Amino acid sequence: MNAHWGAVVVAAGRGSRMGTKESKQYLPLHGKPILVHTLELFQSMDEIADIALVVGADDVERCTRLVQEYTLGKVTAVVAGGSERQHSVHAGIKALSQAAEWVMVHDGVRPLVTRKAIRACCEKAEQSGAAVLAVPVKDTIKQVDDTGLIVSTPDRRSLWAIQTPQAFRRDLLTEAHERAAEELFLGTDDAMVVERTGAPVVIAEGDYTNIKITTPDDLPWAEFLLEKRKREENEQ
């Protein structure tokens, strides 16, 4: 990573699948909100110059306090997200300092991504303009129709499960988001928004432990993985 990187951390969702009154990004993990673990990781990386945190409009004040409480000095902006994740990312990109020529976008509820994986993704992006973290799909995938009938079985060797961060040259990502907004296009991730411009997006292989904490079952698994990682770091 030789470039000046900014990070957009997106945490504007309500997380209805978690089944809790509290939004998932604020649930405790090892004594801290999940979101704080994520921000501390990016805070600790010398390659990242500034962070834009995108949250729900009602949570801007709360997250501003968290940033102060945990001394997250690289978080230079806490901004309200939009009605869709794509709109939130666009707001985050605009909130980064103009010095950030490269941007990575990361889910606030993926606190277990490693520095090694982040660096691998960014290095791939610096070579090609755009890259995403991903892992090979382990299971056989079936495509089904509306009645539940299997219509095809894609070759598993060509299938990858996409994660974050996703890393891009800033002007490329900005242009892709602006075009999508003009054409009222909504993608499922930032890579999809960039792909439709014709720009190449490459894969950087990540880790299966880079889980997105979405359902109640994910929390104990995240606790286990975090404890295991801390033990391994202490043993080194």
Q: What is the pLDDT of residue 1?
A: 66
Q: What is the pLDDT of residue 17?
A: 60
Q: What is the pLDDT of residue 216?
A: 86
Q: What is the 3-state secondary structure (H, E, C) of the chain?
A: CCCCEEEEEEECCCCHHHCCCCCHHHCEECCEEHHHHHHHHHHCCCCEEEEEEEECHHHHHHHHHHHHHCCCCCEEEEEECCCCHHHHHHHHHHHCCCCCCEEEEEECCCCCCCHHHHHHHHHHHHHHCEEEEEEECCCCCCEECCCCCEEECCCHHHCEEEEEEEEEEHHHHHHHHHHHHHCCCCCCCHHHHHHCCCCCCEEEECCCCCCCCCCCCHHHHHHHHHHHHHHHHHHC
Range(s) of the domain holding residue 104? 5-235
Give the β-pairing of 130-136 and 160-169. Answer: antiparallel
pTM of the entire structure? 0.93
What are the pLDDT tens digits along the chain (236 aa)?
667 899 999 998 776 566 567 789 999 999 999 999 999 999 999 999 999 999 999 999 999 999 999 999 999 999 999 999 999 999 999 999 988 999 999 999 999 999 999 999 999 999 999 999 999 999 999 999 999 999 999 999 999 999 999 999 999 999 999 999 999 999 999 999 999 999 999 999 999 999 999 988 899 999 999 999 888 888 76
Contact 88, 81 (CB under 8 A): yes
Give the β-pairing of 202-205 and 130-136. Answer: parallel
Tokens of 194: 């960039």
Q: What is the pLDDT of residue 19?
A: 58
Q: What is the pLDDT of residue 22?
A: 77
- Domains in the chain, number: 1
Burial class (CB in 10 A: 0-12, 13-18, 19+), 196: middle
What's 38's domain CATH number?
Answer: 3.90.550.10
